[in-house]
Amino acid sequence: SEQSYEHIIVTHPAPRVALVTLNRPKALNALCNALIAELNTAFKALDRDDNVGAIVLTGNEKAFAAGADIKEMKDKTFAEVYKHDFIRSWSEMTQVTKPIIAAVRGYALGGGCELAMMADIIYAADTATFGQPEIKLGIIPGAGGTQRLPRLIGRSRAMELILTGRNFSAQEAYSWGMVARLFPSTRVVEEAVSTAEQIGKVGGLAVKAAKEAINLGEEMGLGEGVKFERRLFHGLFSTADQKEGMAAFAEKRKAQFKHD
Query: Which residues of this chain interact with ligand HXC, rule CB under 6 A?
Result: 27-28, 30, 66-71, 87, 90, 107, 109-111, 114, 133-134, 137, 141-143
- Alpha-helix runs per DSSP H in the chain: 33-48, 70-73, 78-83, 111-118, 145-153, 155-164, 170-175, 188-201, 204-217, 222-235, 240-250
Beta bridge partners of 108: 65, 130
Concerning whether 80 is annotated as a catalytic residue, the answer is no
Concerning whether 111 is annotated as a catalytic residue, the answer is yes
Burial of residue 143 (CB within 10 Å: 0-12, 13-18, 19+) is: buried
DSSP 139: -
Which residue's CB is nearer to ligand HXC, number 53 or number 67? Answer: 67
Nearest approach in angstroms of CB 86 to ligand HXC is 8
Q: Are 130 and 108 in contact (CB under 8 A)?
A: yes
Q: Point out the catalytic residue in the list 18, 30, 114, 125.
A: 114
Q: Point out the catalytic residue in the list 134, 144, 196, 203.
A: 134
Which residue's CB is nearer to ligand HXC, number 63 or number 207? Answer: 63
Nearest approach in angstroms of CB 107 to ligand HXC is 4
Which residue's CB is nearer to ligand HXC, number 86 or number 228? Answer: 86
d(CA 259, CA 256): 9
Break the chain down into helix, strand, coil percent, rounded to 5. 50, 15, 30
d(CA 13, CA 197): 9
Nearest approach in angstroms of CB 176 to ligand HXC is 20
Three-state DSSP state, 168: strand
Q: Point out the catalytic residue in the list 53, 67, 110, 111.
A: 111
Concerning whether 160 is annotated as a catalytic residue, the answer is no
Nearest approach in angstroms of CB 26 to ligand HXC is 6
Which residue's CB is nearer to ligand HXC, number 39 or number 210? Answer: 39
Residue number, nearest CB to ligand HXC = 110
Cite the active site residues: 68, 111, 114, 134
